[in-house]
Amino acid sequence: MLRIDDLVVRYGSAVAVDGISFEVGAGEMVALVGPNGAGKSTLINAISGLVPLHSGTVACEGRIAQVPEGRQMFADMSVEDNLLLGGWSIRNRDVGEVYDLLPDLARMRKRKAGRLSGGQQQMVAVGRALMARPDLLAIDELSLGLAPLVVAELAEHLRILSRERGTAVLLVEQEVALAFDVCPRALVLEAGRIIAAGPSVELAQSETVRKAYFGDLAVAETMTGATAPATTEVST
Amino acid sequence: MTELVAYLISGIALGSSFALIGSGFVVVHRVTRVVNFAQGSVAIVGGMTSATLLDGLLPHGLGEIAAVLLCGVVGLVIGLLAIGRRGTPPLISLIVTLGASMLVSAAIIWLWGQDPVAPPGLGGSVTILGAEVERQRLLVVVATGVAFAALALFFSRSYLGKGLTASASNPFAARMVGIDVRKMGLLAFGLAGILGGLAGVLIAPSNPLSFYSDLPLVLSGFAAAVFGGLTSPLRTLFGGLCLGVAGQLTAGYLNGSYQTEMALLLMLVIMIIRSRAFVQEEVK
C-alpha cells in the first residue's frame, strides 16, 4: 500500500532522512520510534508531501492524511469547520461518518477548536484527517501532552479504524510502550536511518534497542498482553 | 446642527470607501502577510474605468460591475507579481506591490491623463435631519454595508471562504489538508482588487479621482486596516468610518487640506496604542 525506496530528505546540507526503505501493507499498523532528531517527523512529512524529497521514491496506492504534531488546529474555526476542511482535497462535506466513529466530536461540533482541551483537539485532528477518507493515516505524536486515559481512547479508535475499515496507520511516537502496544510492527530510527525493524514484541525485548534508545525503560513490562519470546531477532 | 449632520453623513460615505480599501489590505495580509500598497491605485483604476465605460459604452450597473471585475483582474496580476514565485518573503512582496502601484499609476496617466475624472453617479439629493445629502453618498454607504455583509458570509459560509480563513489561521495545517495556500493568496489579491475597485467606483462620482489620489486613498485605507489590526474586516470598517468622519469634520470646521494629515495622525496614534496587540497577533 505504501512503499518507500531509498528516501533521502535534506534541509540544506543537513541530511534528515538518509536512504530509508520500507513498506506498509493495507490495514497494517506500523510504529516509527527513535530519539529526538532521528528524522521521524521529517519522514512522515515527506510521506505526506509536506517536505520535498531529495531523492528516492514514495509510492502510495491511495490517499494519505496526516495528524500533525501539536494538533495544528484552525483555532478560530468551529470543530465542524475543521472537519469539513479535512475533506478539502476530495471535496468531502459529509461529516456523518466521522461523527459515527468519534461521537464526542458531534457533541462539540459548534465549539471553537482553539478552546478545546489537548485531548479533544487531538480527536479533532484525527477526525479531520479521516475526512479525507485516507487509506493511510500518518500520525505524528499521538500522545504528546495528553492524559493516559485520553491516549488509550484514541489508540482504541485507531485499532477500530485499522480493523474495520482497513486503514493503514503509520504512528510516530515518543512513548515507545504505547507505540509498541498499538502497532504490531515497528521501525527504529536514528540519525535519519532505520537501525532496527521487526515485530514490536521482539523489538521491545531487544537489548540493543532498549539500551541505546530507551535507557532503562522496561518497555516489555509496560506492554499490555504482549508475550515476548525467549530470543529475539531484529532485522537491521 | 444641519451642518454637522451633513459632515457626518459625507464622512460616513467617505469612510466607507476607506473601509473597502482597508479591507482589501486585511484580506491580503491575513492570508499572505503581505501589505499590498497597490490598493489605492487599483481603486483609481476602478473609478476611471467606470467613467470610460459609462461614457456611452455600457449602461449604469453593468459599467460599474465591469469596472469592479476588471479591478479584480488587476489585483490578481499584482498578486502574481508579488507572490507568484514560491517562497518570496513578505517584505520583498511588499516592495513589489509598491513597484506595481507605480506601474499602475503610469498606466493611469497614459490612459486617462493627469486631470481628475468623475463618472456619472446617482443624481439628486435627499434631506436628512434638515441636511441636503447627495443620493450617491447614500449609495456608497448602502453598497459598503452590502459588500461587508457579503464578505462576512463568504468567509463564514462558503467552502472557499473557509479555505481562505484556514490559510490565514494556520498555513501549515492548510497545506496539510490539501489547500494550496499560494492560490489562496492569489485569490485574496483578486478579492482585494474587487474591494478596491468597488471603493473607486463608488467614491469617484462625489470625489473625482486622478493618479494624485493614490496617496490619500492608500494612507486612509491602510490607517483603517491598522485600526483593524490588519486582521479584522469589521474593525477595519469601524476604523474607516472614524477616519472618514474625522476627516470631514476637520475639512468642515478647520481646513480641507488637513484631511490626509488627520488620517496619518490617527494611524500613528492607533499604531502606538495597539502596538502590543499587533505583537500578540503576530505571535499568535
Q: Do A72 and B170 touch (CB under 8 A)?
A: yes
* Helix (H/G/I), strand (E/B), else coil: A11: strand
- Are the Cβ atoms of A76 and B166 closer than 8 angstroms? no
Q: What is the pLDDT of residue A89?
A: 87
pLDDT digits (tens), chain B, 284 positions: 788 888 899 889 989 999 999 999 999 998 898 999 999 999 999 999 999 999 988 999 899 999 999 999 999 999 999 998 888 898 999 999 999 999 999 999 999 999 999 888 888 888 888 888 888 889 999 999 999 999 999 998 899 999 999 998 899 999 999 999 999 999 999 999 999 999 999 999 988 988 888 888 898 899 889 888 888 888 899 989 988 888 888 888 887 777 777 767 877 887 777 766 666 655 55
Q: Which amino acid is at B243?
A: L
- Provide the 10 A C-beta neighbour count for residue B138: 17
Task: Evaluate the CA torsion angle B18, B20, B21, B27 in order and state its sign.
Answer: positive
- 8 A C-beta contact, residue B179 and residue B52: no
With beta carbons less than 8 A apart as the criterion, state whether A173 and A200 touch.
Answer: no
CB B206 within 8 A of CB B255: no
Domains, chain B, ordered by start: 2-283 (1.10.3470)
Three-state SS at A73? coil
The one-letter code for the residue type at B39 is Q
**Is B174's Cβ below 8 Å from some Cβ in A?**
yes
- pLDDT for residue A111: 96
| Smallest CA–CA distance from A48 into chain B, residue | B176
Contact B176 A132 (CB under 8 A): no
Distance, CA of A56 to CA of A58 (rounded, Å):
7
d(CA B16, CA B141): 6
Instruction: Map grid coordinates 506595481 to a residue.
Output: B100
Give contacts of B169 with chain A, Cβ < 8 Å: 74-77
Calculate the alpha carbon distances from B158 to A146, B68, B100 in Å.
34, 21, 31
Question: Which regions in chain A score pLDDT beneath 70?
Answer: 208, 211-236
Instruction: Measure Cα distances from A145 to A77, A142, A151, B130 in Å.
Output: 22, 9, 10, 65
What is the ipTM metric for this complex? 0.78
Question: Which positions in chain A touch B162 (Cβ < 8 Å)?
Answer: 77, 81, 84-85
CATH topology of domain A1-62+142-236: Rossmann fold (3.40.50)
Listed residue (A189, A204, A231, A184) closest to A18, CA to CA: A189
Q: Which residues contact A37 (CB under 8 A, 6 or more apart)?
A: A191
Residue of B nearest to A132 (CA): B177
What is the predicted pLDDT for the residue at A214?
56
- Return the pLDDT at A224: 42
- What residue segments make up the domains of chain A, in order of their start? 1-62+142-236, 66-134
